[in-house]
Amino acid sequence: MSLSFSRSITAVACATLALGAAQAADTEPAAGFSRVIVGFKAGAEPGARAAVARSNGRVARELPAVAAMAVELPAEALAALRRNPHVAYVEEDLKRYPLALSAPSSAPYASGQLEPWGIRAVQAHLLPSGDALTANRRVCIIDSGYAMGHEDLPGSNRVSGHNGNLPWAQDGDGHGTHVAGTIAALNNAGTGVVGVNAGGNLNLFIVRVFGDSGAWAYSSTLVDAATRCQNAGANIISMSLGGSRSNRTEQTKFDQLLAANILPIAAAGNDGNNRTSFPAGYASVMSVAAVDVNNAKASFSQFNSDVEISGPGVGVLSTVPNGQGLLGSLNVGGLVVEAFPFEGSPRLSRSGALFDLGIGNAVNAGASGKVCLIARGTVDFVTKINNCQASGGVGAVIYNNAPGAFSGTLGTTVTSIPSVSISQADGTALLARVGQATTVAVGAANYAYLDGTSMATPHVSAVAALVWSYFTPANPTAGRTCTATQLRNSLNRSARDLGAAGRDTSFGFGLVQARAAYDRIVSLGCGN
């Protein structure tokens, strides 16, 4: 029975993410107007601005770090603006999107909290003094914000951010808070999960570019955000976001960052094809693919020659704003089983004896007052759950018909009983417990499982911060001091090779490894 994770899941259980209400963010230009970025020729900024003004353009965002600005202007004015002698280039202000779709804690972590599978997969637990040194590093997260006050995340002593139109210390979407938890969820007994840097020492800087509905942000917004990360003293910029085309302004900015000893890291994309996502596709940015618990390529992870490294990105448990997760729990005869709530399930807790409803394709009066155990297959989830409900069942548990766990949705169907999914192994084992007292529940949670290269990216960002903290001027372990480029090379050369030997399009150099990178730098020096 696959219950290693489930034994300590009583408080947190399993969750999916629920979206919050919409908040103002970047918006489409007015009808008949185009949103573009205008780059200035050297010394010609006044003339370029005058040309924009003559075109009835509106400056939407200043980008002084790259000698440019984002403007909205009538579409018919674009051709003349491109010909203006003061203008270096005019390009579309592209859209960038969020890219999101287990075992009990043990040493070195405090008891009573959950250790997501990715922590050991990237060797976060194996460095000689944990993350005690990470106070010398700052990771900037560009995303949907940060749930300040979350029970399992660092507070204002280690976290700051930029307040623009969107307050950084709020997150109605949850994507940014999930990313932050993977990087820095606290090692605090009895609470939640642990992140890669769990000691509470790592400094975070938050720049919020997505509103509460996630949606998208302009490339000019991303450039501005990256500049604010730089000005805040960030060493690493973590970007679980992307879009389908490149942008000259973005490329200039990220090239600037790497030259300034700042390491940008971005998600490779979730389209499951060989197209390149940006900013991950720029040479100055590390592109991160996603793997599952078996170190196989995630089905959604994009694959191309720009993929540089991989991180855990399937079924990643992390923090979300309070109450935004949807929690599932299952207890059969005192045994706690890992259970995922069906999207659309009512938030209820119900108890009764466990009843085998087979594949759930028919009503059975024997299920009255009981919790239905149902095999996946033959008929859809809604039919199975409705048949349990029509039989008088008080809750539904559907187990997989293939190895592993799964999650599902009820669509627009409204049911009155809580419903969860479990793995094939757990479901098969529970057949021997039919008749035992069972409680199944679905409710709000502060944690959620998410998939995506968005989830893989913070693993790499966090490992980069952890390893780098040992090799700084303030702490030159073995006399080694690494630059951003040298650290990048060391992470790549120490990665766990997956797939075809050497670098490949699915995994890049392989799965990022914290201890292997540390050992390599101590032994061979930075960048070797």
Predicted pLDDT at 17: 52
Predicted pLDDT at 191: 87
Concatenated DSSP letters for 250-294?
A: HHHHHHHHHHTT-EEEEE--SSSSSPPPBTTTSTTSEEEEEE-TT
All structural domains of the chain, each given as residue ranges with its CATH number in brackets, are 33-97 (3.30.70.80), 102-320+450-524 (3.40.50.200), 328-444 (3.50.30.30)
Predicted pLDDT at 100: 62
Predicted pLDDT at 337: 87
Residue appearing with tokens 């540089």: 308
Predicted pLDDT at 109: 77
Q: Where are the beta strands (DSSP E) in 55-193?
A: 58-63, 68-74, 87-92, 95-98, 103-104, 114-115, 138-143, 159-162
Asked whether the predicted pLDDT for residue 488 surpasses 90, the reply is yes
255-286 b/e with 16+ CB inside 10 Å = b? bbbbeeebbbbbbbbbeeeeebbbbbbbebbb
Spatial distance between the Cα atoms of 368 and 45, rounded to a whole number of angstroms = 76
Predicted pLDDT at 128: 81
- The SS3 call for residue 186 is coil
pLDDT range class, residue 8, cuts 50, 70, 90:
very low
pTM of the model: 0.83
Asked whether the predicted pLDDT for residue 9 surpasses 70, the reply is no
Predicted pLDDT at 104: 41
Percent of residues, the chain, with pLDDT higher than 90: 79
Asked whether the predicted pLDDT for residue 293 surpasses 90, the reply is no
- Lowest mean pLDDT across 75-79, 96-100, 189-193, 483-487: 96-100
pLDDT range class, residue 330, cuts 50, 70, 90:
very high
Asked whether the predicted pLDDT for residue 5 surpasses 70, the reply is no
Asked whether the predicted pLDDT for residue 3 surpasses 70, the reply is no
Reading the block at residue 185, the tokens are 């969820």
Predicted pLDDT at 124: 95
Alpha helices in 431-506 (DSSP H): 453-468, 484-494
Contact 282, 250 (CB under 8 A): yes
Q: Is residue 108 reached through a cis peptide bond, with omega within 30 degrees of 0 on the bond before it?
A: yes
Asked whether the predicted pLDDT for residue 425 surpasses 70, the reply is yes
Contact 275, 302 (CB under 8 A): yes
What's the average model confidence in pLDDT over 371-381?
96
Predicted pLDDT at 19: 41
Q: Quick one: which H or E segment has residue 399?
A: strand 395-399
Task: Quote the mean pLDDT of the chain.
Answer: 91
Determine the Cα angle at 19 with ends 169 and 34, to 5°: 80
Predicted pLDDT at 340: 86
Predicted pLDDT at 24: 63
pLDDT range class, residue 20, cuts 50, 70, 90:
very low
Predicted pLDDT at 23: 53
Asked whether the predicted pLDDT for residue 21 surpasses 90, the reply is no
- The larger pLDDT score, comparing residue 1 to residue 391, is at 391
Residue appearing with tokens 């949670």: 445
Predicted pLDDT at 214: 73
Asked whether the predicted pLDDT for residue 333 surpasses 50, the reply is yes
